Amino acid sequence: MKISAIQMNSSRDKAANLAQAQALVARSVEADAPDMVSLPEVFAHIGGSVAERQGAAEELPAPGEDGGAVYETLRGLARDNGVFVHGGSFIERAGDQFFNTTVAFDRDGRELVRYRKVHLFDVTTPDGTSYRESDTFGAGDCVATYQADGVTVGCSICYDLRFAELYRLLAEQGADVIMVPAAFTLQTGKDHWEVLLRARAIETQTYVVAAAQTGTYMDGNDERASWGHSMIVNPWGHVVAQASENTGFASAAVDRDYIATVRGRIPVRDHRVF
């Protein structure tokens, strides 16, 4: 299986973001012929006020029903390109609650999984910028995996990356690949992004696929910056593909024989005590 991690510079313009996603997926399919594409966190809308973010939210449809613009765009990308689509994340409305939610689709546009981000980014970064994800979102409470051509894919989103216990649970559920769609800040990303991704890959002995936001966006009157550097890390911890600072994509093949080789070399799953 070959996977492309799509790197975007999203904004508050939902229609423009969906068009950007479609164009970048089309480019990756033409250039690299992936079996799966992954989009970044909040790819359809980022920034703005709490009211703007909630206004961009969509309810997820019941099985067999049509969804909103984001849901149908993702389903169309899968069906039209014949690829699995890991839909990064977008803002889900569920009654009077909102969640940062991943939805994935198979090659025919059938939904495979729904995952709500568990760990919310309520942090003040070293430059004094405050992020309060809980002002907009509620937290999920489930671990989620799905099957794609015999590969078990685990779900996580951005700040989840800092919580190794989630990744251990995904490994215990048989994950071969773990997705990390993200909008990592410039301040934290330059020091922690690659280190954490490589650590999670080494610990879980899985491929880690991290599709990221890059560049700047407006949050009210404040300009904020995302780190970018979308990458794919193999189970030995090597970065096997990485995007630059610009929008684009990084592609690499998932080798299941190599996963087995790494797990055989260092059988930590057999040696775990606690």
- Encode the chain in three state secondary structure: CEEEEEEECCCCCHHHHHHHHHHHHHHHHHHHCCCEEECCCCCCCCCCCHHHHHHCCECCCCCCCCCCHHHHHHHHHHHHHCCEEECCCEEEEECCEEEEEEEEECCCCCEEEEEECCCCCEEECCCCCEEEHHHCCECCCCCCEEEECCEEEEECCHHHHHCHHHHHHHHHCCCCEEECCECCEHHHHHHHHHHHHHHHHHHHCCEEEECEEEEEEEECCEEEEEECCCEEECCCCCEEEECCCCCEEEEEECCHHHHHHHHHHCCHHHHCCC
The answer, yes or no, to whether residue 2 has pLDDT greater than 90, is yes
Binned at pLDDT 50, 70 and 90, residue 64 comes out as confident
Confidence label for 128 from pLDDT (cuts 50, 70 and 90): confident
Identify any residues that bridge with 41 across adjacent strands, giving them in sequence order.
Answer: none
Q: What distance in Å separates the CA atoms of residue 184 and residue 159, rounded to the nearest whole number? A: 8
Residue 274 has pLDDT above 90, yes or no: no
Q: Which range of residues forms the domain containing residue 231?
A: 2-271
Catalytic residue numbers read 41, 117, 158
pLDDT score of 63 more than 90: no
Region 133-137: mean pLDDT is 94
How confident is the model at residue 85, as a pLDDT?
Answer: 99
Alpha carbon distance 6, 27 (integer Å):
10
Grade residue 127 by pLDDT with cuts at 50, 70 and 90: confident
pTM metric for this prediction: 0.97
Predicted confidence at residue 164, as pLDDT, reads 98
* Total domains present in the chain: 1
Per-residue pLDDT for 73 more than 90?
yes
Give the lowest-confidence range in 80-89, 98-107, 125-134, 170-179: 125-134
What's the pLDDT at 150? Answer: 97
pLDDT per residue over 160-208, tens digit each?
A: 999 999 999 999 999 999 999 999 999 999 999 999 999 999 999 999 9
- Return the percentage of the chain with pLDDT > 70, whole number: 100
Q: What is the pLDDT of residue 220?
A: 83
Q: What is the mean pLDDT of the chain?
A: 97
The pLDDT of residue 221 is above 90 = no
Question: Residue 61: its pLDDT value, please?
Answer: 97
pLDDT at 126: 82
CATH code: domain of residue 147: 3.60.110.10
